[in-house]
Amino acid sequence: SLKKYRKLAIESYGTALQTFAGESNHSRDVYRLISMWFRNCDSMDDINIDNTLQKIPSYHFVPLIYQIFSRISGNDKHAFEPNQFQTILQKLISRVCEEHPYHGIVQMIALSNGNTVDNLTYSENVGASKSEESKKLLMRVKKRSNFLSELVDSYILLTDSIIDLALAPTKQLVERRMLKKIPFSKVQNSNKSLVNIMRRCNYKPCILTKLPHIQPGRDYGNGKDNPPGSELIDKFVAHFSITDSGVHRPKIVVCVSSKGNEFTQLVKGNDDIRQDAVLQQVFSTVNMLLSSRKRINDRHLKLVTYSCVPLSPIAGILQWVDNTAPMRDFLVKAHPRYYPNDWSLTCCSLHYKDGPKETKRQTYDEVCRHLSPAFRFFFLEQFGHSRQLWHEARMAYIRSCAVNSMVGHILGIGDRHTSNILLSERTGEIVHIDFGIVFEQGKTLPVKETVPFRLTRDTVDGMGPTGVEGSFIAAAKETMDVLRTNSSTLLTVLSAVISDPMYNWCLNPVKARQRQQEDNTSMEDGGQEHDDSRGTDIVSPISNLGQNDAATRTIAKINQKLSGYEEGTSDKNSVEGQVRLLINAARDADNLCQLYVGWAPFY
C-alpha cells in the first residue's frame, strides 16, 4: 500500500542521513525527507517520524531552516498543521537552534517580529500565532544555557537596532542632500543606535551576512572565539550612508569584525526581502549541481550569490556586493560618450512609449536605428590595460550571462531591466538582484513579458564579434544539460521552497502596475535609477488550499521546462534545440517590441 511504501521511504532516508553523519553532500535526501513529511503530516500515525528525526544529526537540517521554521504555528484555528506535527516540529527547531545557534536564532527572531507590523498582508502571511510560538521557542532555547540566553539577547538587541535604522525616515536628510557619513544620532536614539548596542552584548553575534560554516560536530567556539567561516561583530563604523536613489532609500552601514575586517551591508526597510533570500538558497543549490561536473567546474560556470537576511516582514539586511554597479549606470553614460549623434535615452524612451500599439515593431526598429550598441566599451574601459584581463573578464561575462539566462528561464525570473543587473568591475561577471517577479509572474504584469531572459543588442555587444555563438551557447548548453540531468534534485528543492506557507508570490495587480510605472519613469527621466521595491503589499495573501494549487502548477511548469518542452512547441527538444529556441525568442524583435519601456528592450 501507499502507506507502507511511504513508511519505508521515510525510514530509509532517515537511516541514510544517520549513517552518513559527517558527510555534507546529502541535501537532496534531507529535502526529500522533509518534503514527504510536510506533504503527509496529517496521515503519519503509523510512522514514528519523531524518532527518525531525532536520530538524524541536526546539521543536515540547517540548509532548510527557512522552510522548517516557517511551519511554526500555535494551536489555534489558523494552525497550518495538526498539533502532533507542531510538537515534533518545535522539538526539531529547538535542537537546531541549540546546536547551531548562529544559524537558527536570527530566523527565530525574524519570525517573532512578524506581529509587530500593522499591515493586513503581513498579518495574514506571517500570522500572530506564528510570532507568539516563535517567542516561546526562543525562551525555551534561552533556558538551555547561560551562553544561549545571552546570545539570544545580543541578537535581539542587534536586530532591533537594525530594524529601527531600516524604518527610520530619510526625507529630511535627502532634501538637505545629506547622503554620506551621517551620524546614527540623526535617526536613532542612543539606546537603539548601532554604535552603542554592541557594548551591551556579553556574547557578540557573528556577521549577519557571513554565517559560519555548518559544523557537523557543532563546534562553533565558546562565544568568545570566531566561529569557523565567520567573524564576531566588534562594532559598527560611527556613521552610515543613504543610497543615491530609491523610494525607500536603503541605508549603507559598515560592520567591523573582531579581526578588524570591514563588511559593508545594505539595510532595507519597508520591503520584504524574504523572496530574495529564498532565491539565493535555490541559486546555491544550482551552484552545487554545476560544480559537481568537472568540465563545468573547470569553466567556472556559476551564479554569483549574496547573503540576504530578513529580520522582520518589512526589514532586513543584505550583503553589499563589492565593486559592482548597475548595468544601466554604464549604458546611460557610454552611449552619448561613444555615439554623440545617436538619440538620447530620454528621446528613445519617449519615442518608444508614445508609438502606436499597431506599429510597435516599426517604432522599435526606428529606435534601434538611432541607437548603436555600446556595451563592448565596458571591457575596454575597465580591463583595457591588460589583454589577458580583458579576455578573462569578457569570458566571465559571457559565461555568467549564459548561466543566469538558463537558470532565470527555468525559474521564470522576470523584471530583468538594467537596474536589476549589476556588473562586477573586478571580474566582469554579472550579478542579478531584486527577485520580486519569479515563477512566470512576469506574464501576469499589465504589459506582460514576452522574452525568456535578457539578451538585447547591448547584452550581446559585450560578447564580441561572435555574439551568442561560441562561448555563450556552449556555456548555456552545459548549464541546461546539468539542470535537466539533475531535474529530480532541483524539483525536490523547489517543492520544499515553493510549498513554504509563508512564501507567497502571487502579484497584487495594483502593485504590479505600479512597479512597471516606476520603471517607466526611471527611463524617461534620463536614466535616474528609482527603487522599484515591492513595498509592503505587492504579495497577495492566499489560502493554504490556493497556495497548494499555485505551488503544484508552478512545479509542473518547471518540470515541463526541465523535460525539454517549451511554449509554442509540442515536441520535446534536445538540450541544444531548447537552448537555441530560447535564444531566438530572447532576441526576436517581435517579442522585444512588446516589452514595457522601463525594461529598455532597445538597450
Which CATH number covers residue 459? 1.10.1070.11
Q: Are 90 and 137 in contact (CB under 8 A)?
A: yes
Chain centre distance of CA 575: 27
The predicted pLDDT at position 301 comes to 92
Q: Does residue 497 surpass a pLDDT of 80?
A: no
Q: Cell numbers at residue 563, please?
A: 523535460
The residues with which 233 forms a beta bridge, in sequence order, are 257
Mean pLDDT of 19-38: 75
What is the rounded CA–CA span in Å between residue 378 and residue 395? 13
In a domain, 186, yes or no: no
- Give the percent of the chain with pLDDT over 90: 56
Q: What is the full DSSP assignment across 185-203?
A: GGTS-TTT-HHHHGGG-SS
Q: Are 181 and 241 in contact (CB under 8 A)?
A: yes
The predicted pLDDT at position 203 comes to 92
Q: Does residue 288 surpass a pLDDT of 60?
A: yes
The predicted pLDDT at position 123 comes to 47
Mean pLDDT of 391-410: 97
Q: Kindly report whether the global pTM for this prediction surpasses the value 0.95.
A: no
354 compared with 42, residue with greater pLDDT: 354
The residues with which 309 forms a beta bridge, in sequence order, are 317
The predicted pLDDT at position 554 comes to 83
Tell which phi-psi region holds residue 307, choosing left (phi > 0), alpha (psi between -120 and 50) or beta. Answer: beta
The predicted pLDDT at position 455 comes to 98
In a domain, 339, yes or no: no
Contacts of 593 (CB under 8 A, 6+ apart): 360, 361, 363, 364, 365, 601
The predicted pLDDT at position 43 comes to 72
The residues with which 232 forms a beta bridge, in sequence order, are 206
Where is the domain boundary, 101, 118, 144?
A: 144
Between 199-213, 237-251, 349-363, 488-502, the lowest mean confidence (pLDDT) is in: 488-502
Contacts of 110 (CB under 8 A, 6+ apart): 159, 309, 310, 311, 312
The predicted pLDDT at position 103 comes to 96
Contacts of 6 (CB under 8 A, 6+ apart): 36, 40, 44, 47
In a domain, 277, yes or no: no
Between 200-214, 347-361, 514-528, the lowest mean confidence (pLDDT) is in: 514-528
The predicted pLDDT at position 532 comes to 39
Q: Are 305 and 287 in contact (CB under 8 A)?
A: yes
What is the rounded CA–CA span in Å between residue 23 and residue 308? 26
Between 79-88, 280-289, 516-525, the lowest mean confidence (pLDDT) is in: 516-525
In a domain, 553, yes or no: yes
The predicted pLDDT at position 120 comes to 43
- At 290, give phi and psi (nearest 5°): -65, -40
What is the rounded CA–CA span in Å between residue 389 and residue 394? 8
The predicted pLDDT at position 440 comes to 87
What is the rounded CA–CA span in Å between residue 371 and residue 351? 12
Where is the domain boundary, 144, 172, 202?
A: 144
The closest alpha carbon to 443, from 433, 434, 452, belongs to 452
What is the rounded CA–CA span in Å between residue 405 and residue 453? 6
Q: Are 236 and 252 in contact (CB under 8 A)?
A: no
Question: How many residues in total does the chain contain?
Answer: 603
The predicted pLDDT at position 407 comes to 97
Mean pLDDT of 13-38: 78
The predicted pLDDT at position 545 comes to 44
Chain centre distance of CA 451: 21
533 compared with 603, residue with greater pLDDT: 603
At 420 the three-state DSSP class reads: coil
Provide the number of structural domains found in the chain: 2
Give the structural domain span for 65. Answer: 1-144
In a domain, 132, yes or no: yes
Q: Does residue 253 surpass a pLDDT of 90?
A: yes
Q: What is the average pLDDT value for the chain, to the nearest integer?
A: 85
In a domain, 332, yes or no: no
What is the rounded CA–CA span in Å between residue 598 and residue 603? 11
Between 45-49, 270-274, 585-589, the lowest mean confidence (pLDDT) is in: 45-49
In a domain, 13, yes or no: yes
The predicted pLDDT at position 24 comes to 54
How many CA within 13 A on the CB side of residue 198? Answer: 18
The closest alpha carbon to 326, from 475, 487, 526, 527, belongs to 527
pLDDT digits (tens, 9 = 90+) for 520-545: 555 555 444 443 333 333 334 344 44
Q: Are 360 and 393 in contact (CB under 8 A)?
A: no
The predicted pLDDT at position 540 comes to 40
Q: Does residue 82 surpass a pLDDT of 60?
A: no
What is the rounded CA–CA span in Å between residue 350 and residue 599? 13
Q: pLDDT band for position 80 (50/70/90)? A: very low
The predicted pLDDT at position 41 comes to 78
The closest alpha carbon to 94, from 137, 152, 53, belongs to 137
Q: Cell numbers at residue 348, please?
A: 528613445
Between 41-50, 286-295, 409-418, 511-520, the lowest mean confidence (pLDDT) is in: 511-520
Q: Does residue 191 surpass a pLDDT of 80?
A: yes
Q: pLDDT band for position 222 (50/70/90)? A: confident
Q: Computed over its alpha carbons, how large is the radius of gyration of the chain?
A: 24
Range with top average pLDDT, 494-498, 531-535, 590-594: 590-594
Q: Which helix (H) or strand (E) holds 172?
A: helix 171-175
Pairing of strands 315-319, 430-432: unpaired
Mean pLDDT of 35-46: 77
Q: pLDDT band for position 516 (50/70/90)? A: low
Q: Does residue 78 surpass a pLDDT of 70?
A: no
The predicted pLDDT at position 376 comes to 97
Q: Does residue 385 surpass a pLDDT of 90?
A: yes
Q: Does residue 369 surpass a pLDDT of 80?
A: yes
Q: Does residue 399 surpass a pLDDT of 90?
A: yes
Mean pLDDT of 185-200: 90
Q: Does residue 507 surpass a pLDDT of 70?
A: no
The predicted pLDDT at position 294 comes to 73
Mean pLDDT of 376-384: 96
The predicted pLDDT at position 510 comes to 52
Q: Does residue 79 surpass a pLDDT of 80?
A: no
pLDDT digits (tens, 9 = 90+) for 88-125: 999 999 999 999 999 999 999 998 987 665 544 444 45
Q: Does residue 67 surpass a pLDDT of 80?
A: yes
The predicted pLDDT at position 539 comes to 38
Between 302-311, 449-458, 521-530, 531-540, the lowest mean confidence (pLDDT) is in: 531-540
Contacts of 345 (CB under 8 A, 6+ apart): 332, 335, 523, 526, 527
Q: Does residue 499 surpass a pLDDT of 70?
A: no
Please give the sequence-ordered ranges of beta strands (E in DSSP) within 292-432, or none if there are none: 308-312, 315-319, 324-326, 421-424, 430-432
Helix intervals (H) in 563-594: 575-587, 589-592
Q: Are 143 and 161 in contact (CB under 8 A)?
A: no
The closest alpha carbon to 301, from 400, 430, 425, 404, belongs to 400
Query: DSSP 3-state helix, strand, coil percentages of the chain (rounded to 5)?
Result: 55, 10, 40
At 357 the three-state DSSP class reads: helix
In a domain, 173, yes or no: no
Pairing of strands 430-432, 182-183: unpaired
Between 297-306, 461-470, 476-485, 537-546, the lowest mean confidence (pLDDT) is in: 537-546
What is the rounded CA–CA span in Å between residue 599 and residue 440? 16
